[in-house]
Amino acid sequence: MIDTKIDVLKLLYEICEDDLLYEKDIDLIESGILDSYAFIELFSRLEDYGINIQPTRIDRNKLRTIKGIEQLIEENTK
Amino acid sequence: MLKKIKEAVEKNPNSVAYKNSDESITYGQLWKRAFYYAQFLKKQGSSPVIIYGHKNVSVIISILACLIADRTYVPIGECTPIYRLKKIAEITKSTLILSDNDISNIEVDYCNLDGLIRYKNNKIKNQENDIVYIIFTSGSTGIPKGVPISKKNLNNFINWINNLKPLCDFKNIKVLNQASFSFDLSVADLYYSLCNGHTLVAFDGDVQDNYDDIFKAFLEVDFAVMTPTFMKICLLNDDFNERKFPKFKCVYFCGEQLEKKLVQKIFTSFPNLQIINAYGPTEATSAVSAINITKDMLEKEEILPVGEINNFATLIEIVNDEIILKGDSVFNGYLLNYDGGHYWENDINCYKTGDVGYIKDGKLYCKGRKDNQIKYKGYRIELADIESNINLIDGIASSVVLAKYDDKKVNVKTIQAFVMVDKKIDIGYIKKELEKLIPKYMMPKMIKIVDKLPINHNGKIDRKALNRL
């Protein structure tokens, strides 16, 4: 399992190199950070870590924040 | 092509011609309404008609009305800012915009399909028209490039796609439209569907935001036209498989490089899906070549082919590693004589695509670009287009825009801008101003203010050095 707190941010930054990520309370969907490319990369890279998240079976609102994604990872690694 | 659509209307007046998540229209209704609007359009001069919208039924009616009235149409996506829309209207000298959106602040008069507002100053005489549509793509000067497609071009494309295997065998099927009508991938599904009496099922929005709608559509579609990226997103769900979606039997990809890894994944979930990989630039009418991708190609081929030599829509040659297109599919030059890859050879239209490719064992392969043009989220973007628009912002001295690729050097992962300023301005201001000038998909993800831009020994901007910043 990956240490979520820092890694999700790091992972997302690696994927999209978007400075908006460091803005406080940024909504990852509204801001366009999690666009189609970042979406595919995020889910595929998590899969590489052995975390298989099905986009259709999650609460989409959790994708809006780093914290939400950390929760998703946690839920899917139990 | 209009004859073919009319035949489809007469044959199946009650079948659904087009539907999206909220509305649908039969062939009979579509023709009736389009015919009605065409009478209006015929009285409105002959300048190209801008259709500014997305996937509403009114957009399809507007397109058909233009075909009937013999008026060129210019499909523009809603994500285009008003500034760019106005620029396009200037280039096309359009005096009429059809839209369901409120664009009353645009100064060019517009026409709401329900209201039929007339443009006042139209004094142009009707002329014989050869151009069916004009698609705008990113241009390196910062002004979008208009690509006019003639009746001859489009008819040649339709004849070609109608004879593709297995598309020529399909009867009364449902065809998925993914791309916006301003992106010429949609020319393939729109005309193939309407000319054959099929039902075009439009998908609206981003798939990752709307899995329910797209999977609902996949339950009924037989054939889908899409970009590889779209398929990748669908396949993130294990539920997207042949058992759950047994009707879905054929997919047509174009607009992006199709990777072997994706095809492998598709065959795991849909072992019997027929995959067509097509290739072609906007300048040669949507696509000029296609090939069925088979499982054995995954082992045999280094990169997947994009066409077969005995099945080209137009003549294809390779000169100095570049793909050159010649003949009936090729447009007759950009609007405003924009300098591009177009040229004539004994009165035959030719186009230097800028794509690096080769032909081997009767198959065409495309390896990438020769220049700074990139494919980002399926859109074709000139980095210089973004630079030119950044330079329009008050306070900017100069700028360089770069694309960063993923580790495989296939997909552009981000667009970055480095700017020098001559006034005290911040990044928030630059972003806000730039959003007014270019579509959202062209926006750099990162903008950095730098003291100077590195220059290489040729006196040019050192893009490699910037990439290391």
d(Cα B297, Cα B289) in Å, to the nearest integer? 17
Nearest to B445 among A17, A36, A56 (CB): A17
Q: What is the DSSP letter of B309?
A: G
Its CATH architecture, for the domain A4-75, is Orthogonal Bundle (1.10)
CB contact under 8 A, A16 and B445: yes
Instruction: Tell me how close the Cα of A1 comes to any Cα of chain B, in angstroms.
Output: 20
Which pLDDT score is estimated for B104? 54
Average pLDDT over residues B38-50: 87
| pLDDT value of residue B149 | 96
Residue B113: which pLDDT band, with cuts at 50, 70 and 90?
very low
B168 alpha carbon, distance to own chain's centre: 23
- Max mean pLDDT among A64-68, B158-162, B399-403 falls in B158-162
Position B300 scores a pLDDT of 94
Which residues of A have a CB under 8 Å from any CB of B? Answer: 15-20, 29, 32-37, 39-41, 43-44, 52, 54-56, 60
Is the bond leading into B444 cis (omega within 30 degrees of zero)?
A: no
Residue B467 identity (one-letter amino acid): N
* B246-264 average pLDDT score: 95
pLDDT at B343 over 60: yes
Q: Is the pLDDT of residue A5 over 50?
A: no
If you average pLDDT over every residue of chain B, what do you get?
A: 89
Q: Give B75-78's long-range contacts (Cβ < 8 A, gap of 24+).
A: B75/B51, B75/B133, B75/B135, B75/B180, B75/B181, B75/B182, B76/B50, B76/B51, B76/B52, B76/B136, B76/B182, B77/B180, B77/B181, B77/B182, B77/B183, B77/B439, B78/B52, B78/B53, B78/B54
Q: Which two tokens stand for residue B251?
A: 């997919």
pLDDT tier at B337 (50, 70, 90 boundaries)? Answer: confident
| Lowest mean pLDDT across B121-125, B212-216, B326-330 | B121-125
Q: Where are the domains of chain B?
A: 373-468
The average pLDDT across A25-36 equals 86
* Cα–Cα dist B242/B19, whole Å: 24
Q: Are B366 and B257 spatial neighbours (Cβ–Cβ below 8 Å)?
A: yes
pLDDT for res B279: 97
> Which pLDDT score, from 0 to 100, does residue B467 have?
72
Q: CA-CA distance, B63 to B7, in Å (whole number)?
A: 17
Which of B206, B229, B414 has its CB closest to that of A16? Answer: B414
C-alpha to C-alpha distance for B213 and B79, rounded to whole angstroms: 21
pLDDT, position B378: 76
Q: Residue B399: what pLDDT?
A: 92
Q: Which residue in chain B has the smallest CA separation from A47? A: B236
CATH class of B373-468: alpha beta
The pLDDT of residue B48 = 92
Confidence of residue B15 (pLDDT cuts 50, 70, 90): very high
Identify the pLDDT of residue B78: 85
pLDDT at A74: 87
| B445 chain-A contacts, CB cut-off 8 A | 16-20, 33
pLDDT beyond 70 at B107: no
pLDDT of residue B103: 56
pLDDT band at B339 (very low <50, low <70, confident <90, very high): confident
- Interface confidence: ipTM more than 0.95: no
Domain residue limits, chain A: 4-75
- B446 touches B88 (CB < 8 A): no
Residue B67 has pLDDT above 50, yes or no: yes
Q: Is the pLDDT of residue B242 over 80?
A: yes
A56 CA: distance to closest CA in chain B (Å): 7
Predicted local distance difference test score (pLDDT) of residue B119: 37
| Per-residue model confidence as pLDDT tens digits over B373-420 | 888 877 889 999 999 999 999 999 999 999 888 777 777 888 999 999
Going by C-alpha positions, the residue among B389, B436, B377, B437 that lies closest to residue B417 is: B389
> How far apart, in whole angstroms, are the C-alpha atoms of residue B239 and residue A52?
13
Per-residue pLDDT at B122 exceeds 80? no
DSSP H or E run through B274: strand B274-279
Average pLDDT over every residue of A8-18: 85
